[in-house]
Chain A
């Protein structure tokens, strides 16, 4: 899947995550989180697995996590990818 347009998913509410995606030649991932010190690796892993699942190799992902669980991170990433992407 190729990221072809701007899109957002999620919210900035507690236990959610807000993801903004924009077209880019490279894959860029920027993660901010209220629990960055403890869970950065886990968040990155969830993000990375969704990108691999949908074969996304480009796009700029700006991620603002508000303490979302793994299943929420994966859901919001999938939504962002589907909204901004094209097969």
Chain B
């Protein structure tokens, strides 16, 4: 469950070390855009030490690494992989080959350190027009890929359009990412809403993302965590209905019924699947731990 993924700059200790108490399901320790080129070395060491000595216990840790065309990404992986972050987020992913290249190097570092190969997942950040068009190939590029994450800011620059709060300019990209991810049986995560002060805009944007099929959303401020968590959580009514569905299924099996209905509606496979997803989320929310 990743309702919220909170970005934390990789070279800022006071945010980095408190990341796991801010309520997000995942924290993204950022070695890319939040770090200037002359501080990449310092951020890499700091993030590695945070993983080594101060690892978040109540949420998932994701490391956003530098693009594969930069001279930094392999050094990023050399430092962090031995300390087992849950996921690596490669940036500006625009082909399956980029994912495969990152995955192969992660495997090399895992093997070098005597780690089990393949345990660390990949969440590609898609933020170019080419990346959007290649979404299905990226989603199916490697078994490590757990989802697709859309980055709206770089994408709109690449599309040569203005990023707006309404988000009409990224509607196609959002839908394409969701469809590609779902076609591969993985998750889709939405771009952050970047106006920290606009809580009404955040609610609208989050509701839109959920309605399109996203599983969660990145946030750039701890102030956005509670709202996004709430909007991506099942409601009490959803949970009660899911329990009723599963109870009805059990009862139908006991009675040997082939067709089962609840509240006058037939329960078919998609309803059962949705109920199972809701109950899985309920379980994770009760446990307070977000890792899959």
**B33-58 interface code vs A (CB 8 A; 1 in, 0 out):** 00000000110011011101110000
Instruction: Using known A-B contacts A69-B54, A71-B50, determine if residue A13 contacts B12 with beta carbons closer than 8 Å.
Output: yes
Contact indicator A69/B13 (Cβ below 8 Å): yes
Cα separation A71 to B13 with both chains bound (whole Å): 10
| Chain A count of residues within 8 A CB distance of the other chain | 18
Residues of B within 8 A of A71 (CB): 17, 49-50, 52-54
Chain A residues with CB under 8 Å of B255's CB are none
Q: 1/0 per residue A11-45: CB within 8 Å of B? A: 00111100000000000000000000000000000
Q: How far is the CA of A69 from the CA of B13 in the complex (A)?
A: 9
> Does B14 have its Cβ within 8 Å of any Cβ on chain A?
yes
B11 to chain A: closest CB distance in Å?
8
Docked CA distance A16–B15 (Å):
10
Among A9, A76, A79, residue most surrounded by chain B Cβ atoms (within 10 Å): A79
List chain A residues, Cβ under 8 A from B17. 15, 69, 71-72
In the bound complex, how far is the Cα of B53 from the Cα of A83, in angstroms?
22
Select one of A13, A79, A82 contacting B14, CB under 8 A: A13
Q: Is the interface of A mostly helix, strand, loop or mixed?
A: helix
* A13 surroundings in chain B (CB, below 8 A): 12-14
Residue among B13, B14, B41, B53 with max Cβ neighbours from chain A (10 Å): B13
Complex-state Cα separation, A70 to B13, whole angstroms: 11
Q: How far is the CA of A70 from the CA of B177 in the complex (A)?
A: 41
Contact A14–B14 (Cβ < 8 Å):
yes
B265 to chain A, nearest CB (A): 55
Nearest chain B CB to A19's CB is how many angstroms away? 11
Q: Contacts A10-B42, A69-B54 known; A75 to B14 CB distance under 8 Å?
A: no
| Centre residue among A69, A70, A74, A83 by max chain B CB count within 10 A | A69
Chain A residue numbers with a CB within 8 Å of B54 are 69, 71
Bound-state Cα–Cα, A14 to B18, Å: 13
Cα(A24)–Cα(B228), bound, Å: 53
Interfacial chain B residues near A15, Cβ < 8 Å: 13-14, 17
Asked whether A72 lies within 8 Å of B41 as measured between CB atoms, the reply is no
Residues on A lying within 8 angstroms of B by beta carbon are: 9-10, 13-16, 68-72, 74-76, 78-79, 82-83
Nearest first, the 10 A-B pairs at minimum CB distance are A15-B14, A71-B53, A71-B49, A75-B46, A75-B49, A79-B42, A72-B13, A15-B13, A75-B45, A16-B13
